[in-house]
Amino acid sequence: MEERDGGFRKETVDRLLRLHFRDRRTRVNGDAQLLMAEMLNIFVREAAARAARQAQAEDLEVVDIDQVEKVLPQLLLDF
Amino acid sequence: MEGQGSEERLLLIQRLKAAVHYTVGCLCQDVAEDKGVRLSKQAVAAISEISFRQCENFAKDLEMFARHAKRSTITTEDVKLLARRSSSLLKYITQKSEEITSSNMEQKERKKKKSSAAKGVRTEEHPEAAVTESGDSNME
């Protein structure tokens, strides 16, 4: 698997998911861990990219919380 | 006893949030460079918090999907279901899933070749095995 500069490690992803399982027996297989890491990478990148686009649309140089808030609803709907 | 458990959990949550924040920071930096913008610390922190919370939704959905399929282990099929809401997302995830599968197969092939080279046996021919099996029934 390609290792980008930053990107979720599958061990971290596994622990993140396990934190919220209702059943203690629930596990995530290795491939699914990798895939979920990708999923999270995309989620974060989308959030940042959409907020950046929003800032550009508002003619701002710095992306701040306001822009993140504006793109949040659609982001959550798309995921 | 319960008090200790919840303390441990809080510690784990703290550590995970920190790990997420670090990774989110890296990814955001990537995107910021790409787009030629700057992201404020607060924006990154917000994205980090949102991502952490989104994991809860993901986890619960994944668990439900696996349980619905009468499994206790979450597989890539469950993850693909998670990505169903956006067609481009689903396409990307499906592609990644295939990449993972094919890289797994490549690894298996490499292992096979390694182990058969070490044993000095060709994988196509097993004439010896046939002979020993039809022979003595006393010997295992």
What tens digit of pLDDT does each residue of A15-50 get? 999 999 999 999 999 999 999 999 999 999 999 999
Residue B9: Cβ-neighbour burial (10 angstroms; 0-12, 13-18, 19+): exposed
pLDDT for residue B79:
98
Contact B83 A5 (CB under 8 A): no
Average pLDDT score over chain A: 93
The pLDDT tens digits of the residues spanning B52-77 come to 999 999 999 999 999 999 999 999 99
Q: How far lies A57's CA from each of A11, A45, A62, A63, in Å?
A: 37, 18, 12, 11
Element (H, E) at B74: strand B73-74
pLDDT band at B117, cuts 50/70/90?
A: confident
Q: CA A62, CA B121: separation in Å to the nearest integer?
A: 64
Q: Could you tell me the pTM of the whole model? A: 0.84
Is residue B128's pLDDT more than 70?
A: no
Complex ipTM tops 0.90: yes
Q: Which residues in chain A have their CB less than 8 angstroms from residue B86's CB? A: 78-79
Radius of gyration of chain B (CA): 25
**Start-to-end CA span in chain A (Å):** 23
Interhelix angle B2-35/A10-18, nearest 10 degrees: 130
Q: pLDDT for B98-114, tens place per residue?
A: 999 999 999 999 998 88
Q: What residues 14-33 of chain A have any CB closer than 8 A to a CB of chain B?
A: 15-23, 25-29, 31-32
